[in-house]
Structure formats: C-alpha cells, structure tokens
Structure 1
C-alpha cells in the first residue's frame, strides 16, 4: 500500500523534472527552491500569522468569545507560539529539501523518507496530541487560577484559606482529567491500570493508616473551618497562633516562639478553642478590698478605672461584681472585653487594667489587703494553775479564766 502511494508520486516528479538535465539548470532550480522556502518560512509565514491573530482579535474582541481570546493571548506563553512557528518553518524547509533532492535525482532517498514519515505518522500524531493536551492544561490552569481569584475578590465570605483550598481541589480535578486523556491518546489499558491502582491503594492504606487518617482529617478541617491561619487557638494541651494548615498537619507558634506541629487526626480528636473567630474576647481579674471598705464604692472606682484603659472596648460594657468573701478581703471580679484578640493585646489589656485599678484605689484610700497574722504576748501569774480537763486557768482564790481569752 505504501509503495502504491509513493511510487506514482515520485515517478511523476521524475518525469516533470527530466528537463533539468544540465548541472547549471539544477543548481538554478535548487537555489530558487531554497530562496522560495526561506522567504515563505521566514517572511511570509510570520506575516500571515500576525495578520491572522489581529483579525481574530478584532473580530472576537467585543463578542461572546472576547474573554476566551483575551485569556488565551494572555496565558499562552510566548515560547509556545514561537515553537509552533518554528515547527511550521521546519516543515516548509523540509518540503523544500525534498524538492531539491528530487531535482538532483535522489528519488530513492526521497522514497525512504516518505516511507518513514508515513510509518511514523501515528507516533507523530500522538506526540502532537500530547503537546496539545499539555498546552491546553497549562492554559486552563492559569485561567482557572485567575477566575477563582476574581471570584474570591467579588464575594465577602470567602477567606484566603478557602480560596487556596478551592484552587488546589480544582487543579487536582483538571490534572486528573488531563492524565486520563493522555492515557487514552497513548492507548493505555485503563482497566488494568485501575486494577493495579486498587491493589496499590490497599497496600498503601494498610502501611500508612495514620497518614491517610491525617489527610482525611485535613480535608474535613478545610471544609469545616474551625480556624484559619493567624487565629489564636488552643488545641488539646497546645496554645498558640496558627501559622500553617496542610492536608497532613497543622502548625502553631506558641508564646515561647516554638513551632508546634500537630497531625490533623489529633486536631480532629481534640477540643479546639478559637479566641479570634468572633472578633472579641472577655478577660477577667480578681482583686480584693479590705473588709472595712464599701464594696459598692470600690466597684464604681474600679469600673471607672477599667473604662480608662484604651484597649478595653465599650461594648459589651465592663463589669465589676463582688464574688466572694476571702480570708482577708472581699473579692471583686473585674470583667472587660477587648477586640481583635491576640496574646500581646490580652497581656497589654490586663497590665493596663491592673495599673489603672491600683492607682484609682490608692487615690480613694481603698486598701488591697494581703494575708497577715497578729501575734500577742500574754503573761500568767505564778500562783495560777492550769486545769488540764477544761483548758481553764484557775487562780488560787478559786476563780477561773479561759486560756484562750
């Protein structure tokens, strides 16, 4: 079949070029063919490509396909366009070279080249299809990335973390689809591949159960969103600021500057306290006042002092509540709120409240008592005896006094 296709063509070319019998004529024809090939490939072809690109852009710029053409022109790298141009130029120069070989009577070589080209056509087609799939996937991923970014900017409920998750999930879907298409282009048996993948999945699942559990828990955390990067949280026994969330682990930075890595399966099994999510945090302090002080007046003084601290917000309003009778003081509980909670703001607010309340109590003469013990020295006369049965001190005249008096 191949011989039937190529032989008549070569014979026709030979008959056509039989008139080129002299060497001078063949040289002239060869030079003309080479010049024509160079002009077409290096001048005419780039001009036609630029003209076609401008025509397509002008026709579809404002139509329904305007966004598509703009996206393709933005995301197709210049190297890809240059590669296509160079490929077509090489094809033109190849045809020119074949024509020159025919002029010089090298039809056997031409026949061999044509036979090899026809035999290699399926492989060349698969290579071209692979290049097309790779280029389409690249352009699609770039368009997808910008589309998700624009969508995230248009809505208010999507956080940066959610945008990253959505991008990674859609990229995974696109890449998986592209891989299946490439397998189909190369005629790979997908049934055997799926069977092997299933067996491999069983082996990997048994060998890496904890890792797979962390990955599954990571996906659940991404969708449930108990915290995001930058939140101040407590996870089990660990407290700190979230610095990174992956599908395998969550990373915290504690207040000592240490980085704590917690597997996501442990995160999902632990109680999570998020002090940042609601935008406000209530803090409380206990302070004692002397029993001789007026609790109501002391509460008013403390409340005024708390309100004077800059980090304390007005709503919800601060509160001062007498809560207990201590060993040496009446205990007042100071309650106040801060916004945009973080560890530095918490300790700054507590420090400010302590200083303000202490200064206000000093100005009002309200004492903050501390535990103290009073010792007394009591003497007993030499003629007194102690009744060991009832702890009474009895004098010789028969009267008695309590030893504890």
Structure 2
C-alpha cells in the first residue's frame, strides 16, 4: 500500500518536472511569439494610419479610405498570429483550426446574421458615391449630416447637434433622401387670398416678391397655381428654385419667401384672410319675458 502511494507521488513529481522542463525549453519560443504579436499590434496601428492616409490622396470618399486602413490592419494582425503560432510549433493546431473553420463559420454566421448583414452593408455604403461623409441626408425618420460610416453603423448629426446611430442594414433597405447631391432645390409656399382679390394681380405680386429675394437662373421660373376655393380664401401655391444642399437651406428659403409675400401683399392691400366665426343674435326677443325671469330669480 505504502509502495503504491509512493509510486503515485513519484509519477506526479516526474510529470510536474516534465512540464516544467518543457515550459523552460519553450520559453525562447514563447518570448518570440509574444514579441511577434506586440510588433504585429503596433505595426497594424501604423499600417492602418498610413494606408488610410495614402488611400485618401487617391480616393475622395473618406469612408473608403478608413475601410482600406482597417482591412490592412486586420491582415497585419492575422500574419502576426500565424507567425506566433509557428514560433510556438503549433502549426498542426493552426491546420486543425483552419479545417474546422468551415463548420464554425457556418454556426457563427447563423448566430451573427444581423451583425454580418450590417458589416456587408457598411462595405457597400463605403463604396457608394451618392452618400458620403459631410452629406445631409434624411432616412428612417431622421435627418442630419453624415459624420461617420463605420463597418456596422452610420452616424448622423441632427440639426440640434444630437447624434443618431443607424445600423447600416436599415440604410440599405430603406429609402434615403440626399440633399447634398444636387445644388438646387425647389421650394413650395402655400398661401391664400380673399375672394375679392384680383387673381391676376395676386400672381404678379407673388412673382415680384419672390424674384426680389431669389433670382431664377437656367430658364427656371416662379410658378403660381391656384388650388381651391377654401372656406375663407382662394388658396394657391408658389414654387421657385434656390441654391440649397441641406434641409436647413430649405427652411430658410421658405421663411424668406413667406415674409416677402406677406410684405408685398400688405403694401398692395391684398387681404390674407383667416378663419373667423360670426355670432348672430335674434333681435326680436321678448323683453317682457326676460324681465319676468329676472324678478323670479331675484325672489
């Protein structure tokens, strides 16, 4: 019994000594692997920075330059990992990992379907020239300036300076309005005039008011269309073109147009009616009955 216990302790001791010897023998390789990974990490950061900078000189779109830099950094880190595993003599382990990557990739792909969809959408967005950093867009119920296009999301800065993070998948799948693609925008202003107004004169005054603040170019003209007989006014819409690349420019132009029309109408005595309610009382009231009711209330 004692001999068996003693033999067990001896085996354990020999095993520990063997492990320690193996660890000491592999220390140089482990040190080399650590150095390789550290070098790969810092090299990836440098490569990311310089690759993105070189790409930006040839490519105007910043999102594509950033994507190229990130991909270059991932390649450098992957090469460092392969070299580190080779230094540790784990090439067989690496082959086993690569052999199982097919099945693992299928499982991971199913589990991360939404993430991978955003990733692919981010790559597509990065190469789209119709949406770039600095553009003012409207999508998914949000409107703002594009400040970043990453591999998984797009960041908008709204007019109130709040940031909105939208998954790239939603940007690809939903309609998008880009105000920055074109340099001109058509503005529509609705208004109404009284029934007594001369509509030919109204048309002339509206065109004079708008042309005084926004001169039309390239064969464009100010349009005035009467739409309907309203409850208290004849309603019309005027349309004109302005130089605009953001939703803010649209609001400014509409505001300036409304003020110009209001000022012009006031100077020419054109009425802009507003809904009113008239109360009509019957003048044939029986005053005797009213006085009798008052006496009853006093008693």
By relative contact order (CA 8 Å, sep 6+), the higher-ranking structure is 2
Q: 2:229 aligns with which of 326, 340, 343?
A: 326
Q: Which residue of 1 aligns with 2:171?
A: 267
* Equivalent runs, 1:365-380 vs 2, <5 Å: 365-372=269-276
Query: Which residue of structure 1 lines up, in the alignment, with residue 112 of structure 2?
Result: 208
Distance 1:220 1:307, change over 3 A: same
Per-residue CA shift, 1:318-369, capped at 9, x if unaligned?
5232231222333332223343433433322222111111001111222222
Post-superposition offset of 1:229: 3.1
CA contact under 8 A between 2:179 and 2:247: conserved in structure 1?
no
* Matches for 1:4-403 after TM superposition, within 5 Å: 142=46, 145-146=49-50, 148-153=52-57, 155=58, 158-187=60-89, 188-189=91-92, 190-309=94-213, 312=214, 314-315=216-217, 317=220, 319-327=222-230, 328-372=232-276
Aligned to 1:57: none
- Work out whether residues 61 and 129 of structure 2, in 8 Å CA contact, stay in contact via their aligned partners in 1: no
Further displaced range: 215-224 or 179-188: 179-188
Shift of 1:286: 0.8
C-alpha contact (below 8 Å) 1:295/1:322 kept by paired residues? no
| Structure 1: unaligned runs, 5 residues or longer | 1-118, 381-405
Please give the alpha-carbon distance, in whole angstroms, between the structure 2 residues aligned to 1:265 and 1:129. Answer: 39
Distance (Å, rounded) in 2 between the aligned partners of 1:346 and 1:307: 17
Between the aligned partners of 1:304 and 1:199, the Cα distance in structure 2 is: 72
Secondary structure, aligned partner of 2:196: coil
Shift of 1:276: 2.2
Larger Rg: 1
User: How far apart, in 1, do the equivalents of 2:217 and 2:278 lie?
Assistant: 45
Q: CA RMSD in A?
A: 3.7
Residues 125 and 207 of structure 1: is their aligned pair in 2 closer, same or farther, counting only changes over 3 Å? closer
**Aligned partners of 2:55 and 2:65 also within 8 Å:** no
Please give the alpha-carbon distance, in whole angstroms, between the structure 2 residues aligned to 1:160 and 1:323: 47
* CA positional deviation for 1:194: 0.9
Deviation at 1:264, TM superposition (A): 2.1
CA drift at 1:307: 3.0
Q: 1:268, CA displacement in angstroms?
A: 2.1
Alpha-carbon distance between aligned partners in 2 of 1:132 and 1:224, rounded to the nearest angstrom:
37
The superposition leaves residues 217-263 of structure 1 with CA deviations (integer Å, 9 ceiling, x where unpaired) of: 22222223552333332223333333333222223344455443322
Pair 1:366–1:280, CA change in 2 (3 A): same
Measure the CA separation in 2 of the matches of 1:263 and 1:241: 16
Equivalent residues of 1:230, 1:242 under 8 A apart: yes
Q: Give the SS at the match of 1:334.
A: strand
**TM-score, normalising length: structure 2:** 0.68
| Structure 2 unpaired stretches of 5+ | 1-23, 285-299
Secondary structure of residue in 2 paired with 1:244: strand
The count of residues paired between Structure 1 and Structure 2 equals 257
CA shift in 2, pair 1:132/1:370, >3 Å = closer
| TM-score, normalised with respect to structure 1 | 0.53
Q: Is residue 218–residue 247 contact of structure 1 (8 Å, CA) maintained in 2? A: yes
